[in-house]
Amino acid sequence: MNADINVVPYIDVMLVLLIIFMVTAPLLTQGVDVQLPQTEAAPLTIDDEPLTLSVNRDGQMFLNRGEKAGEPLEDAEVVRIAGAIARNAEPGNDQMVLVEGDSQADYQFVAKAMTLLQTAGVKKIGFVTDPVDIAGEGTP
């Protein structure tokens, strides 16, 4: 008598799990579609994923963290959520907040976002941009 392990059911389960993960993985990412301005700035090196305040071309603001991630926020909500996250940062390690402004947005919208972050007590503010395409290829 020969005792072999039947691996066919295990392969079936593995394939089903693979399909489930392949279908659900794209649904887990959230984001706001903004066209970033292009600059020749050097990229920042940041250990953790920073808090990002996105400003679309209509002036609506979105945060990538907090209870209302991915939803348009009012000014008071931006101050409240960003302030809470900044206050909960480790002592001596100021929370970096990145401002991701659409290149088609009026400057007043981006300036307003920065003012709201300063009101919330954020000390480190950075800007997200796309690198300039030196060869002249790609999108303008």
CATH for 71: 3.30.420.270
**126 in a structural domain:** yes
The number of angstroms, rounded, from the C-alpha of 130 to the middle of its chain's C-alpha atoms is 14
**114 in a structural domain:** yes
Intra-chain end-to-end CA distance of the chain, in Å = 72
Token pair 């993985």 is at which residue?
25
What pLDDT digit, counting tens, does each position of 10-64 carry? 888 899 999 988 888 776 665 666 676 777 766 655 556 778 888 888 888 888 8
**17 in a structural domain:** no
pTM (whole model) above 0.75? no
d(CA 16, CA 21): 9
**52 in a structural domain:** yes
Q: Are strands 51-55 and 61-63 parallel, antiparallel or unpaired?
A: antiparallel
Q: Which two tokens stand for residue 140?
A: 């303008």
Quote the number of domains for the chain.
1
Q: With contact defined as beta carbons under 8 Å apart, do 75 and 113 qualify?
A: no
Q: Which two tokens stand for residue 6?
A: 């039947």
Query: What is the domain range of residue 57?
Result: 38-131
What pLDDT digit, counting tens, does each position of 108-126 carry? 888 898 889 888 888 888 8
What pLDDT digit, counting tens, does each position of 52-68 carry? 888 888 888 888 866 66
The number of angstroms, rounded, from the C-alpha of 21 to the middle of its chain's C-alpha atoms is 22
